[in-house]
Amino acid sequence: MVKFIFALLFYLLLLVLPSEAQELPVYNHFYSTPYLYNPAEVAAYPFRNVSLNHRQQWRGVEGAPVVTTLTFESPFTYKKFGVGATLRHFNRGLLSTTDFLATYSYKMNLTRNSTFHFGISGGLTANSIDVTQVQDLSDPAITNFLNNNIQPISNVGFKLATSSGINIGASLPRLFKLQYVNSQNFEALEISPFEEFILMAYFKKPIASKIVTRGAGRYKRRVKIEDVYSPFQMYAIYHYSPLIGKRVELLSTLTFNESFWIGGSYRLNYGMSGIIGFNMKKLSFSYAYEPSSKLVNGIADGAHEIQLKLTIGDKIKELIERPKLKSLDRSNDRAPRFSSQDVQLGGDEDQVRKKKYYVVVQEFKDFNTADRLVKKLKKDQDVTSDIFYNEKTGIYYVYIYETFSRRDAEKDKKAAEELMKFKNVKVIIIDIK
């Protein structure tokens, strides 16, 4: 009789919980680690970090959900991609789920002030039951469940980020439909990506640097810190799944002195929650509490969630794509640099069709001074340059590049400004007669 009752309860568990087990756990700390909901967020910031999140739902209720999540994120030096990993254990009484996901993300510059982030994850999930609560382990249903529950999992997401601090993202948290009763491992490969989705929008304005006051014993000093964000941040998340329907949550945080922050959120049809956090150099600690909802009010004392986040190493610098400098290519057997008798500046650019563009780094009224700069550029920076003379103004121009393309000339002008540190670099147009 006991065996029959347990088998009946076990099958009911498999029928009722599969959809719930497929749902993403609720995280109050998604503002700190948005990678928990969207793979496109992995390595979105220029620091390697490890975070540990632990959430105890509805304390006081036996078998209430408990989830522990470990994440790792790392951008790559001089690259536009990053990697991450997630290890999660989700316990719901008799049933437990363990997930492992590896994530790849790529960032693409859309405009000068906006970027597009794409992320995709793949891994495995496995389920187990608490055998201490099972009186007959020889039951075929239990044996089949324990032996054939490893299945693939995957998710995908994107994010649009702007320098104004506005970020918009979306993710499909479950590309494969999970099955909990299988005849063999990896049996379920049914693709169902659009049954569940998450939309997220938030305001988190980056600030290149700011000056703060820090104490050192009895003394205080002003220091400059980099890669910080505006003190006030706002988040909104919309989560849809067949089981829970629509879930809407609003959250905001306010940071004080870069070392302490508070926050609060409201989840539709559930209620309020509060957040408090501290920064201790490279380690941060935060705690969130949400009172029990009206569904379990009087039975449980709410949900508790803590997160530890450790920054590893120094900032990983992003590659800045600088234009390449295309200086003149002159060999020693060619004619010497032009003198004032050899080169003249042409007339107005609208008078003729064929034109040549010269990237000029400096101008002089004396030929010998201009010639010294040409020799200095070759000796110190290995840049070949030349001189031409404007007969009308009596000016000698030192130029490093000549081309028939205006676009190429503008690119080399930008390169000269960034790589050679010259001020007032010009593009001068010469009419070809």
**Distance, CA of 279 to CA of 47 (rounded, Å):** 15
For the question of whether the overall pTM of this predicted structure is more than 0.85, the answer is no
The better pLDDT of the pair 102, 362 is held by 102
More confident residue, 420 or 87: 87
Q: Are 272 and 294 in contact (CB under 8 A)?
A: no
Q: What number of residues does the chain have?
A: 433
Could you read off the pLDDT of 21-80 as tens digits, one per residue? 345 688 999 999 999 999 999 988 888 999 999 998 877 677 788 999 999 999 986 668
The number of angstroms, rounded, from the C-alpha of 252 to the middle of its chain's C-alpha atoms is 20
- Chain segment 158-172, per-residue pLDDT in tens: 999 998 999 999 999
| Ranges for all domains in the chain classified under CATH 3.30.70.1070 | 322-433
141 has a pLDDT exceeding 70: no
pLDDT band at 349 (very low <50, low <70, confident <90, very high): very low
CATH 2.40.160.40 domain extents, the chain: 2-312
pLDDT above 90 covers what percent of the chain? Answer: 30
DSSP per residue, 152-166: EEEEEEEEEEETTSE
pLDDT of residue 342 exceeding 90, the answer is no
Q: Per the CATH hierarchy, to which homologous superfamily does domain 2-312 belong? A: monomeric porin ompg (2.40.160.40)
Start-to-end Cα distance in the chain: 107
pLDDT in tens, 279-331: 988 899 999 998 876 555 555 678 899 999 999 988 776 654 555 666 666 54
Euclidean distance between CA atoms 379 and 313, whole angstroms: 39
Which pLDDT score, from 0 to 100, does residue 297 have? 56
Of 34-38, 134-138, 354-358, the one with minimum mean pLDDT is 134-138
Least confident of 16-20, 217-221, 385-389, 392-396: 16-20
pLDDT single digits (tens) 188-207: 567 878 889 999 999 998 87
Q: Which two tokens stand for residue 222?
A: 């002003």
Q: What is the pLDDT of residue 118?
A: 95
- What is the reported pLDDT for 292? 72
- CATH number for the region 322-433 comes to 3.30.70.1070
**How is the chain split among helix, strand and coil, in percent rounded to 5?**
15, 45, 35
The neighbour count for residue 311, using CB atoms within 10 Å, is 17
Burial of 94 (0-12, 13-18, 19+ CB in 10 A): middle
Neighbours of 38 (CB within 10 A): 28
Q: Is 280 helix (H, G, I), strand (E, B) or coil?
A: strand
Q: What's the pLDDT tens digit per position in 224-245?
A: 556 678 889 999 999 998 877 8
Distance CA(385)–CA(365), nearest Å, equals: 17
Average pLDDT value over all residues in the chain: 78
